[in-house]
Amino acid sequence: MGICKKFLAAFAWLFLLVSVPTADPQTPSETCKSDDAANIVQMDERNERVFAVTSLDRINTVAKARKVLLSLQKTLKQCRPTWGNTWSVSFFSDRKYAGYKHDDNMKPFVRDGSWSRAYLGEYERVEGKLSLHPADPNRLKFLKVPLR
């Protein structure tokens, strides 16, 4: 009987350790509130990528892009602090196009070319590089936009 009680006590203790969820004090909020300069539409948590809607005239120069990107960085520091400086953003002209071109819901837009036309830019925070018109090799342009 003594061995059985010890076994049950050990089993119960193990069960409690495994079944009690651990609290993560840095769990970010589920939504990121962004300003009008670049409205966050969706987020890819695994790849730390933001899909945002803006207009080309807000990101077509270093000064303008920096203003938008600093605002996004501030938002991400608040709602995704674990991303640090490894995030990236894809800019689109309309929210219906905001997503990866290989996503099933984007396939009709990729076929008709509207996804490419709506894909305004892509920024890689680590490199500080903004690519304008990344899906159009004839209009592709690069800007160096360092953030601090």
Residue at 13 is within a domain: no
Residue at 53 is within a domain: yes
Residue 95: per-residue pLDDT:
96
Rounded-to-integer distance, Cα 26 and Cα 81, Å: 8
Residue at 16 is within a domain: no
Residue at 65 is within a domain: yes
Overall residue count recorded for the chain in this entry: 148
Residue at 80 is within a domain: yes
DSSP helix/strand/coil, 49: strand
Angstrom CA distances, 2 to 8, 10, 11, 14, 98, stand at: 10, 12, 14, 18, 64
Residue at 1 is within a domain: no
Domain containing 44 equals 29-144
Residue at 3 is within a domain: no
Which pair of structure tokens corresponds to residue 2?
């003594």
Residue 62: per-residue pLDDT:
98
Residue 117: per-residue pLDDT:
97
Residue 30: per-residue pLDDT:
54
Q: How many domains does the chain have?
A: 1
pLDDT one digit per residue (tens) for the chain, 148 residues: 565 454 444 444 333 333 333 333 333 345 677 777 789 999 999 999 999 999 999 999 999 999 999 999 999 999 999 999 999 999 999 999 999 999 999 999 999 999 999 999 999 999 999 999 999 999 999 999 999 8
Residue at 50 is within a domain: yes
